[in-house]
Structure 1
Amino acid sequence: MATLMLENGADIRFIQGMLSHACLTTAQIYTQVSIRQLKAIHAVTHPGKLPESVKRRLEEDPEPTVEDLLAQLELEAEEDPED
């Protein structure tokens, strides 16, 4: 439950209090699972993996749009349909 809360944006301090952990480091064990999710997001959205059209747009406007990220996901799904 704590991992799901953390992955969906709950503050680690709130989770610490909810679980009655006296020390933050005890509650931080749940962040290790969350790191896997961050790595997956990073792999999908890293500028080195984006198509050239998106890279050109990012040079003009450095904030990627939802459409850019969805386009990247579609390209990756076409490249590796098993995932």
Structure 2
Amino acid sequence: MGSFPYYKTLDEFQLQEQPSLTKRQFHQLRELSWLDQLFNLILLGPPGVGKTHLAIGLGIEAIHQGYKVTFITMES
């Protein structure tokens, strides 16, 4: 898992600090069905709201479920 800038899981994500993401949406993302449906996921928002944490957590979850993951930032 060396391609991530740091290790953060979805279990560590503070959902209550992100009012624009509902518990239902969070669980839908965590199920990863969007991957099987070939949907892209773009996380937008101001600094400090958890976009990178969420992206890393989803990536780690995907790896645990057998997916191959590459992490890149918009600056990459």
Give the number of the structure with larger relative contact order, counting CA–CA contacts within 8 Å between residues 6 or more apart: 2
**Greater Rg over alpha carbons, structure:** 1
TM over 0.5: no
Richer in helix (by share): 1
Give the TM-score taking structure 2 as reference length: 0.30
